[in-house]
Structures are given as structure tokens and as C-alpha cells.
Structure 1
Amino acid sequence: MHISAEIIDILFLSLRVSILASLIGLAIGAPMGAYISTLNGKVQTVWLTVFSALLAVPTVVVGLVVYLLLSRSGPLGWLNILFTPTAIVIAQVLITVPVITVFVHRACTAAWNEVGDALRLDIARRWRRMWEIGKIAKAGLVTAFLVAFGRAISEVGAVMIVGGNIRGETRVMTTAITLETRQGNFSIAVWLGIILVLLSFSVTVITFLVTRERNKSKI
């Protein structure tokens, strides 16, 4: 077995769309998580319940929703981006936002419990409180990004629906593994599987190290 140019192209496309989707998800989910952590009582519970429930939504359903929105008969069909990397990014963003929101909320809540009262006295504007909490919980933001990236790059259902698994265009590692296995091209499938496992393992290790350092800093 050898790593071909096609495998390298698939790898770089997978990394590109997943990293971009995770960054966009972080830009959306991090402020939401920080905002929810500054709320009180039932309002916080409602918001947290909504995003926790979104975590349980099957990713193929997310893919179906994006497909319906971007199809020619859909409200965003005029964009003509279905079966493109952009469509994959959109689907992955919708998948990663709830993940990031929940993880950032956990990290920010711990910080808010420690310094929230002081921030209420010193800072009047909520967005500035959120900013300060985010700086304190920055390790939690890194963890949230890594977890979201791990979920995005291992996603197959939604990616298959909105990307179409087009060779040289939208074929990422997970969809390529599925296709090559069905066609009996186990050499390519095995190589892609090994690379995907190594990436997932690396993300897990980095997440563990970041979490451990964060816990040490609290001692």
C-alpha cells in the first residue's frame, strides 16, 4: 500500500472543511456559551436544555435540512452551493455549534462561579463580562474547538447528503472510506482509516493535555 496523490487531496480537503467549520462554530458557539453562563435561573436552564437537545439530533437529519435549504427548490437554492465544500462546511457548522456552546458553557460557568459577583460590580455591560469570562476560560474554548473538530472530521451522514461524495470535489475521508469499502478497494479504505484514527487519537490526546493543564491551574 502507498499513499497516493488522491489520498493526500482527500486528507487536505477533510482538514480544510473541518477546521473551517470548527472555527466558524467556535465564533458562534463560544459567545453563546459565555452568554448562557451569565444568565440566572430558569432562563439559563431553558437555553442549556435547547442546546443539549440539539446535541442529540441525528447528523443525517442536519444534512437533510441543509439539503432542503440548498436544493434548487429550497429557499437558498439560488446560491447554487449544494454538492460543494461550502455545503459541507455549513452542515458541519450546524453540527459543531451545539457541541461548542455546551462545552464553553461548562468552562465559563466554572469561571463565572468564581468571579461572577466581582464582574457584576466592576463591569456594567454584559458583553464585557462575557469577554472577561472567555479570557479566564480560554483553555475550555480550546477544548471545545478540539472536540468540535473531532466530531466534524469524523462525520459521514450529513457530509454524504450535502456533499455528494464527488471525486476531486467533495470527497472527504469518511465518505471515501464508505465508497472504497463498498467497491472493494480496501487498500485506499485502510489507509484513510488509519489516517482518520491517527487524527482522532491526536485530537483526543491534545484535548486530554489541555484539560489536565486547566485542572492543574485550578489547584
Structure 2
Amino acid sequence: MSDLWGGLTQAFWLVIQGDPDLIDITLRSLQVTLTALVIASLIALPLAAVLAVRRFRYRRLTIALLNALMGLPPVVVGLIVYILLSRSGPFGVLGLLFTPTAMVIAQVIIIVPLIASIAHQSLRDLWSEYHDLLISMNVTPWQKMRTLLWDARRALLTASLAGFGRAIGEVGAIMIVGGNIDNATRVLTTAIALETGKGDFALALALGFVLIFLAIAVNLAIHALGRTEREGRW
């Protein structure tokens, strides 16, 4: 019991004092995850708008596929990206394996279906309200999608925050494609796994505190945005 309290105390002081390793790992985690989030949002949000507005042959299949990919195991994503980026893979010549770029690629693949599915639900509901008005105005499909994306911006931000929460806590794919290299690809989740294995519970707990704080902050933001969206509709 004393070891537990000792570890918690040391972890608390590491956070309060701003331990350099802790800050470095946290900043790298945020850099990788935020980069992946921006790229994923640029892919997922327009895709969600297209699925809400346009009618094409394989639309329902695409929606079903996105919903199914939300549950895709991250370890499988990491394995696929590893094979593609390895020396014997088709993109091995780029030398991206075991770099932050590889980690961003894996996170983008993981969170695009999640963001697109959540965003599509919001845009589909909004499209049912706007359909007659926009059709009567004879606007182009691009103008329809732009209007939906703007008016649903709070809901879309919620979808993006959900993607951030999924990405920041990911460990399997990141470990495979990043390699958990010190001062290069070590992020919060992989560092926690490593330090726990080494028995350095103080640093592991401190990293855990930061990760919990980020997760709580994201969830509070989602709750606040969702509440604001509901109040706005009333």
C-alpha cells in the first residue's frame, strides 16, 4: 500500500513540476493526434455530406461499410499499415515506418469511419429539414453540402472530438507502426505500457493522469457542445 501511495505522490509531483519527459511525450501525442484529426476530418466530413445529400448506386453499402469499420480492431489497422510501409511493401521506398507520419496514417484510418458515421447521422437529420427549402432554391449539390456543413458545425465538431478521443487513447496500431522509439515516436499510451513493464510506476501514473485529463476534457467538450446544439434547436 505504501508503494502505491508513494507512486501516486511521485506521479503528482512529476505533473506539477512539469517533468521534461512527461512534457515531451505529451506534446508528441498531441502533435500526432491533432494532425491525424485534421486530416481525418477533411476526409470524413465532406464524405458524410455527400452521403447525406447525394443518391447513388452504392450509397447504402458505403454507409453500412463505414458503420462496420467503426469497430475495426486498431491492431489490424496497424498490421496493414506496417505491411504497406515495410521495406518489402509497396510504399517501403518512402521510409515512413517507425516515424510519426506512420502513426498519423494509422490514426487517420482508425478515426475516419467514426467521424464520418457520426457526422452523417447529424447531416442526414438536418438534410431532412432543409431538403424542400434547398430544392426550391435550385442550388447546386456543392451549395447544399456547404450549407449543411456550416449549419451543423457544432455537431460536426462533436464528431471530430469523438475521433480525437478515440485516437489519443490508441495503443495497438501506434505501437506496431511507430515502434515506441524514445524521443521520436513515443506517445502517452505506448509510454505508459513501457514504463509499467519497467516498473517505473511514478512516470506511468503521471502519463496516465495526463491521458485521463485529456479524455475527460474531450468528453466534457462533447457534452457541452451537444447541450448547446440541443438548446439552439429549441
Could you say if the C-alpha distance between residues 123 and 152 of structure 1 is closer, same or farther in structure 2, counting changes exceeding 3 Å? farther
After TM superposition, the score normalised by the length of structure 2 is 0.90
Select which of 178, 181, 184 maps to 1:169.
Answer: 184
Instruction: List gaps (5 residues or longer) in structure 1.
Output: none
Give the stretch that moved more between structures: 17-26 or 120-129: 120-129
Moved over 3 A (4+): 39-44
- Equivalent residue for 2:88? 73
The one of 153, 157, 163 equivalent to 1:148 is: 163
- In the other structure, the counterpart of 1:12 is 27
**What does residue 103 of structure 1 align with?**
118
Tell me the SS of whatever aligns to 1:75: coil
* 2:135 paired with 1:120: yes
- Partners of 2:218 and 2:115 in 1: CA distance: 15
Contact 1:14 1:172 in 2 (8 A): yes
Check conservation: 1:26, 1:145, Cα contact below 8 A.
yes
Pairing 1:138–2:157 present:
no
Kindly indicate whether the alpha-carbon contact (under 8 Å) linking 1:123 and 1:129 is maintained by their aligned counterparts in 2.
no
Aligned-pair distance for 1:215? 0.8
Deviations 1:166-200 (Å, cap 9, x if unpaired)?
Answer: 00000000000001001101000000001100100
Q: Is the 8 A contact 1:34 1:130 kept in 2?
A: yes
TM-score, structure 1 normalization: 0.97
Residue 82, structure 1, aligned to residue 132, structure 2:
no
Whether 1:31 and 2:46 are equivalent positions in the alignment is yes
How far the C-alpha of 1:40 sits from its partner, in A, is 4.4
Structure 1 residue 42: deviation in Å? 7.2
Give me the identity figure in percent.
42
In the aligned structure 2, how far is the partner of 1:192 from the partner of 1:139?
A: 30
Kept after mapping to 2: 8 A contact 1:140/1:211: yes
What amino acid is the match of 1:92? Q
Count of residue pairs brought into register by the alignment: 219
Instruction: Quote how far apart the aligned CAs of 1:117 are.
Output: 2.0
Name structure 2 gaps, 5 residues minimum: 1-9
Cα distance between partner residues in 1 of 2:136 and 2:97: 49
Asked whether the equivalents of residues 29 and 98 of structure 1 are also in contact (C-alpha less than 8 Å), the reply is yes
| 1:192 aligned counterpart, secondary structure | helix
Distance 1:168 1:40 in 2: 48
Q: Take 1:116 and 1:86, find their aligned partners in 2: how far apart are those partners?
A: 40
Q: Which has the larger radius of gyration?
A: 2
1:45 offset after TM fit, Å?
2.3
